[in-house]
Structure 1
């Protein structure tokens, strides 16, 4: 295949990842296919880095007029707007389903319900409060804002590579990404995250340790729990893994 065609497909895959994970308009024409959607998974951490860069820019501008705490809160609100609370919605649905369902069928039914219950509300509020507190207390707030979105978006790729897909594929937004998930692209995404952590270790020593802890610990514990409760993963469970990985990394920072 000519290099020009390969580069065009990868460029489209990147923008497809941007459109999948955020509300940022796709600025290029996309020849959509399920294969291209699958290829876009490689760029999830890169999209996270793009989000982190926007967060850092917003934080520095806000900090000219407001305290660090107020600036962090506004940045988190901005993040929720840009992403459409995509992963936070997954967290709420997952906790509602796993907390309120006593059979596999009931859990999957609750997970598909667009309404949020008590378990999901509590989980969402506490996760956002903890995120704000951890960001505000980080030694280097800008670094935490920059790297957390990138590193946390590697975790769902690990889950897709190691677990079965268990929800209704015809009604799931994540199904095209999950189908035929490429191990080679997982390796590439992992290498990107590790190199990024190594570069930023100049400002935060042992950042690679925190990166591995956030990604592998959540993938292992959350993945094991999903396997026992659902027999695999759903799109909502992947979203929840991003939130969990962010919190673990921020605790380390």
Structure 2
């Protein structure tokens, strides 16, 4: 009788802690008072945390387009709002990975460059590129389907791209002993399954309802292919994953989800 409420309460607590980890949104302190909590377990709720994180940028997108701001500008404001809410956590990871992969020829040098908080040419290009590509994709959806559909697409992408982090995290060994990802431990199989199922379900339902099945299917296929390719690249360049590559994975998946949704606009159904 009490199992369902307990399970919901546990999932809600995981979602709150995952939201605090992935963003700067305020989370009540009582959610951190539970015994035995760990990010490897809380990662099960990354898709739900992504949904919460996407709400304010989605509302901003609708508001801006309603008052007459052009689609690309509205989308850019929404993407920048997302970066502000997350503290540019994932963009920072992408920039560090770009600097490390582009600026060194051996594994140890790459890891050393990635630890440096300063951003180089490769990192600057990568961060500028992700902002432009996400804004362009979201703006194309606004122009073709309207701001409400784009707002739901934004939320779906936010959920699915953060669920992808969990799969990527669990599928590769740690490349940097003592790093953030390594110290947290690898997500349990149950957490990976929960994140994958919830992330795909949220995206499939919300993106299909907002944009269409074909668009959603194209987006998922592109994102899976990109994630697989990036995981192989990380193994070749680093021998595994780091906290920076987790952030880069989220950005790559988000870009490809928006790309797929935008490409689907031009395909007749």
Q: 2:204 aligns with which of 194, 198, 202?
A: 198
CA distance in 1, matches of 2:153, 2:11: 28
2:228 aligned residue: 220
CA distance in 1, matches of 2:222, 2:42: 22
SS at match of 1:25: coil
1:104-143 aligned at under 5 Å gives the runs 104-138=107-141, 139-140=144-145, 141-143=150-152
SS at match of 2:213: coil
Alignment of 1:234 with 2:234, yes or no, is no
User: What TM-score, normalized by structure 2, do the two folds share?
Assistant: 0.85
CA distance in 2, matches of 1:210, 1:20: 30
Q: Deviations over 1:23-52 (max 9, x none)?
A: 011124112677432211011111111122
Structure 1, unaligned stretches of length 5 or more?
A: none
SS at match of 1:221: helix
Alignment of 1:175 with 2:176, yes or no, is no
1:162 aligned residue: 171
Distance 1:33 1:90, change over 3 A: farther
2:80 aligned residue: 77
Q: Which moved more, 1:5-14 or 1:88-97?
A: 5-14
Distance 1:199 1:243, change over 3 A: same
CA distance in 1, matches of 2:243, 2:9: 28
Deviation of 1:153 after TM superposition, in Å, equals 1.1
Q: 1:186 aligns with which of 184, 192, 195?
A: 192
Q: 2:51–2:159: 8 Å Cα contact kept in structure 1?
A: yes
2:267 aligned residue: none
SS at match of 2:209: coil
Q: 2:134–2:258: 8 Å Cα contact kept in structure 1?
A: yes
Deviation of 1:19 after TM superposition, in Å, equals 0.7
1:43 aligned residue: 45
Structure 2, unaligned stretches of length 5 or more?
A: 262-269
Q: Which moved more, 1:155-164 or 1:234-243?
A: 155-164
Distance 1:87 1:8, change over 3 A: same
Q: 2:71–2:140: 8 Å Cα contact kept in structure 1?
A: no
Deviation of 1:248 after TM superposition, in Å, equals 0.7
Root mean square deviation of aligned Cα: 2.0
Q: 1:68–1:136: 8 Å Cα contact kept in structure 2?
A: yes
Alignment of 1:17 with 2:18, yes or no, is yes
Q: Which moved more, 1:39-48 or 1:193-202?
A: 193-202
Q: Which moved more, 1:118-127 or 1:7-16?
A: 7-16
Q: 2:167–2:196: 8 Å Cα contact kept in structure 1?
A: no
Q: 2:58–2:154: 8 Å Cα contact kept in structure 1?
A: yes
CA distance in 1, matches of 2:168, 2:204: 23
